[in-house]
Amino acid sequence: MGKEEQSKGVKRGISRRMFLRGTAGSIAGALAASGPGKFMTQGMFAPRLIRQNNTVIFAIQSFAHEAIQSVLPQFEADTGLTVQLEGGPVTGNEMLTAYSPAFASGTSPVDLFSDADDSSPTFMGAGWVKPLNEIIPQETWDDFPPSMQDHIRGFLSIDDVPYRIPHEFAVGYFFSRQDWLSERGLTVPTTWDELVEVGKEVTDSANGVWGTTDALIKPALLYVYVAYLAVQAGGKVFEFDDGTAQALQFLYDMIHTHKIFPEESLNQDYTAQNALYMSDKVWFMRQWPFFQGVAEGNAEWYAPEKLIISLPPAGPLGSKSWIGGWGYSIPTYAPNPDGAAALIQYLTSNAVASQLAAQQGFLLTPRYSILEAMADTGDELITAMGLYAENDVFAPRAFHPRVAEAQTVVDDMASLFLTKQASLSEVLEQGKQLIAALDQ
Amino acid sequence: MAAQSRAAQPPGRFSRLTLRQRFYIVAVLLLLPAVALRVFTAFYPFLQTAYLSLHKYNPAFDHDGPVFVGLNNFTRIGSDPVVQASIGFTLLFVLGATFFQLTLGLAVAHLLNAAFRLRYLARALVLIPWAIPMAVAALGFRWMFDDQFGIIPDLLRTLTGANVRWLIDPNNAKLAVVSVAVWKSTPFVALVLLAGLQGIGRDLYEAARVDGANAWTCLFYITIPMLLPILITTGMFMIVWQLAVFDLPFLMTGGGPGFSTTVIAQKIYLESNSLNYGYAASISMVLVGIVALVGAVGLYLFRRFDVSA
C-alpha cells in the first residue's frame, strides 16, 4: 500500500483547519455573548464590569464589617441592591499599592471604599475619586462640627469640593494611670515641663517602668508622634520650622536627656506600645481611640481608673492634638456608581451614622446627630470628645499634596536625629530640601 | 468517500511549501510563545523603564503624561541621601551576606559530607531555615531582636551582661539584617556545595595525605580549587539574587533606624508606590547598572580562573 493510499485510509478525528476554525469560533462566541464592546475596551477587567449591576462592592477594614452588616438589610430591602463587603487595606500606603494600578488603568475593583488620609490626596489629585458635593446632601455636611469642617476643607477637598466624607475621627488621646497617680499624690501632667517633672519622678528604668512612651517605628508611626508634638509647639511639620525643631528636641530630650521615654520605643509599634501599658510599665501615653476598646477587651487587667483620658500636656502653643481619620470615597471608575451613591448616602445619613457609631469606634465621629444619640450612654470616648472640644484641643492634620511622601521625609529625618545619626540642624536642613524636592 | 473527496481537493498553501520552508514556519511557531513571553515580561518592561527614567511622570499630578527631563532624575539620585545610603547598604548587605553564606556554607557542607549516623536526617534538618518563607523569618526575627521583648537581647544580657540595642542602633541593625540573611540562605549554599564536594575523588585526598598534607592544606589546595566553578557560580547567583532584596529589611526594620537599612529595592518600591514612576525608573536603571557590573565581574572571574574547563 502506497503513502497516498495510507493517508486516504486513515480517518483523522479532527483536522488542523477544523481545530483552528473551532477555536476562533469559540472565542468569537464568548466575546459576543459577554458584551464585546466592554471586552474590547476593558480587557481582563471586563468580568467585573459586566457583572450584574445590582451588586455594590464596598471595601472597608474587616473589623468594621459586623457593624456595617447590621444596617445593610434595610438598605437592601429599600433599594433592591445587594452589598458585597470586602476587606480593605489597613494603611494609606497599602491603599495606594492596592488601588493605584486599577485606577490608573481606568477601572476599579470596588464601588465604594474606605480611604485613608495618606492616600486620599493622591487619589483626589489624580481624579480617581468622584466629587461628593452633589451626592451627599447638605444636611449631612452640616452635621459635622466646625473642627471637622476645617479638616474636610483642608484634607478631603480640592477647591472646596469634597471627595471623601469622614466616618472616623482619629485623634490622639492622652491616657493616664489615675490609680497610680492618686496613690503617689501626683496629678496628671498638664504641660511639657510637668510631663518631664512627673516623668522623672515615676520612671524606674531598672524595672522597665517609664513615665511615657509611644510607637515610633518606621514607616509612618514616628511621624504621628512628631506631628502630635509639633502642633503643640505651633509648628508646621512639613516645613521643618522652629515649632517642629522644638518638638524634635523635646522628644530627643525625653528619650536621651531625661530618660523618661524608653529608647526602645523607636522600634515599637502600637501592639507593643499597648502591651507595655497593659503590663503596668507606663504611667501615661498618647494613643488612638482604638486603645479604649483594646484595654476594655483585656478584662483581667482593665479598670476604669487605669485608663483616664485627660488633656494632652500643653506645649508652647497649648494643649493640642491633630485630627484625622478614614472616610468613604467613590472611585471615578466604579462599576456601579449609582449603587455606590445610594449606599454612601445611606451610610452617612444622620440616623444610620449614629447606629454605626454606637457599635464601632472606627465609625464614630463627633457629628451633632451622633453626639446627641450617644449623649446618655456614658461612653468614655464621647465624654473625651466633649472635653477636647470644650478646650479647643483639636488641630487640623498637616496637609501636603504628596502627604505620604512628605510623612516619609519626616519619619526619616526624625529617626536620623533620635538615633544620633545627624544633628538637629542637619535634619532640619535636609528635611527642608527633601520637601522642596517633592514640590518640584 | 469523505477521505476521497478531501484527496481530490487542490493542495493547501502549507502543502505547496518546501520542506525547509515548512520547517522554518513550524520552528517560528514553536518559538513564538517563548519569544513573546520574553518580549512582554523582559524587553518591553526594560525599554519602558529606560524611557520613563528620562521623564518626570506621576499620574496623580502630571495629567498631561510623561514630561521629558533628560538626565534630571539621575542628577537627583546624586543628591538624594536616601538613595545614596540605600546603595551603600545594599552593597554591604550583598557582599557581606554572600561572603558569610559561602564560608559557612562550605563549612556546613563539609560537616554534612562526613560519614556519621543519621546524616541524611541532618541534611534535611539543615534545610529548614531555607524552607521558611522570608516574610515569616523577617517578622519572627524582628520580634526575636526586639529590645524589650526579644529573646536574643535577653539571652545576651543573661549570658554576657551586654545590653545591646539591636534594631535602634544603625550599625547593630545592619548586622542583624545581614545575620538573618546569612542564617536563611546558608543551607541552600551548603546543599549546592555538598553536591560539589561529593564529586571530588577521594584518591586526591589520599594522595595528598601520603605527601604529608594536613586538613587545611587539603582545603586550600584540593577542595577549594576543585569547587571553584561551583563557588563562583553560586556566589554570582547569591549576589545577583540578593541585590534585589526587599522583603527582609523592609519587614524587619522598615529600612531604619533613619534609612540605615534601606535597600535600593525598598527605595524603588516607595517611589513607585507614591506613583513617582519616572524617578523610580531611574533608580531601577541604576540597579540594572549595578547588576550588569557584577555580572561582568563574574564573567571575568569565570575566564580568569578558567572555571568552564
pLDDT tens per residue across span A85-142: 999 888 888 888 889 889 988 899 999 999 999 899 889 988 999 999 999 999 999 9
Burial of B169 (0-12, 13-18, 19+ CB in 10 A): buried
Alpha carbons A91 and A114: distance in angstroms, whole number: 11
Alpha carbons B253 and B62: distance in angstroms, whole number: 33
Q: Look at residue A41 and tell me whether its pLDDT is greater than 90.
A: no
Report the percent of chain A where pLDDT is more than 70: 89
Alpha carbons B268 and B110: distance in angstroms, whole number: 39
List the one residue out of A182, A213, A211 whose CA is nearest residue A198. A211
Q: Look at residue A7 and tell me whether its pLDDT is greater than 70.
A: no
- What fold characterizes domain A51-169+325-388? D-Maltodextrin-Binding Protein; domain 2 (3.40.190)
Q: Which of B73, B273, B282, B283 is best to mutate for the A interface (most A CBs within 10 A)? A: B273
Say if CB A418 and CB A214 are below 8 A apart: no
Q: Please give the backbone phi and psi of residue A107, each rounded to the nearest 5 degrees, phi first.
A: -135, 175
**Bridge partner list, A55:** A82
Per-residue pLDDT of A342-366, as tens digits, reads: 999 999 999 999 999 988 888 999 8
Q: Is some CB atom of chain B closer than 8 A to the CB atom of A123?
A: yes
Alpha carbons A285 and A343: distance in angstroms, whole number: 38
Distance from CA of B45 to the nearest CA of A (A): 15
What is the enclosing helix (H) or strand (E) of B300? helix B277-304
Say if CB A226 and CB A415 are below 8 A apart: no
Cα Rg, chain A, nearest whole Å: 27
Q: Look at residue A50 and tell me whether its pLDDT is greater than 60.
A: no
Distance from CA of B274 to the nearest CA of A (A): 7
Domain with CATH 3.40.190.10 in chain A: 51-169+325-388, 171-323+400-439
What's the pLDDT at B298? 81
List the one residue out of A39, A52, A165 whose CA is nearest residue A112. A165
| Residue among A122, A219, A264 whose CB faces B254 most closely | A219
CA distances from B280 to A242, A337, B45, B68 (A): 32, 33, 13, 15
Say if CB A335 and CB A321 are below 8 A apart: no
- Inter-chain residue contact A421 with B270, CB threshold 8 Å: no
List the one residue out of A398, A402, A399, A408 whose CA is nearest residue A439. A402
Q: Which three cell numbers stand for residue B165?
A: 540595642
Contacts of A96 in chain B (CB under 8 A): 273-275
Taken in order of first residue, the domains within chain B and their CATH numbers are: 12-68 (no CATH), 81-304 (1.10.3720.10)
Residue by residue, pLDDT tens for chain B (309 residues) are 445 555 556 666 767 788 888 888 889 999 999 999 999 999 999 999 999 999 998 888 887 888 999 999 999 998 888 899 999 999 999 999 999 999 999 999 999 998 888 888 988 899 899 999 999 999 999 989 988 788 999 999 899 888 888 988 999 999 999 999 999 999 999 999 999 999 898 899 999 999 888 989 999 999 999 998 899 889 999 999 999 899 999 999 988 888 899 999 999 998 888 888 999 999 999 999 999 998 888 888 777 766 544
- Label residues A371-383 b or e (16+ Cβ within 10 Å = b): bebbeeeebbbbe
Count other Cβ atoms within 10 Å, centred on residue B118. Answer: 9
Q: What is the CATH number of domain A171-323+400-439?
A: 3.40.190.10
Q: Which three cell numbers stand for residue A382?
A: 464621647
> What does pTM read for this prediction?
0.78
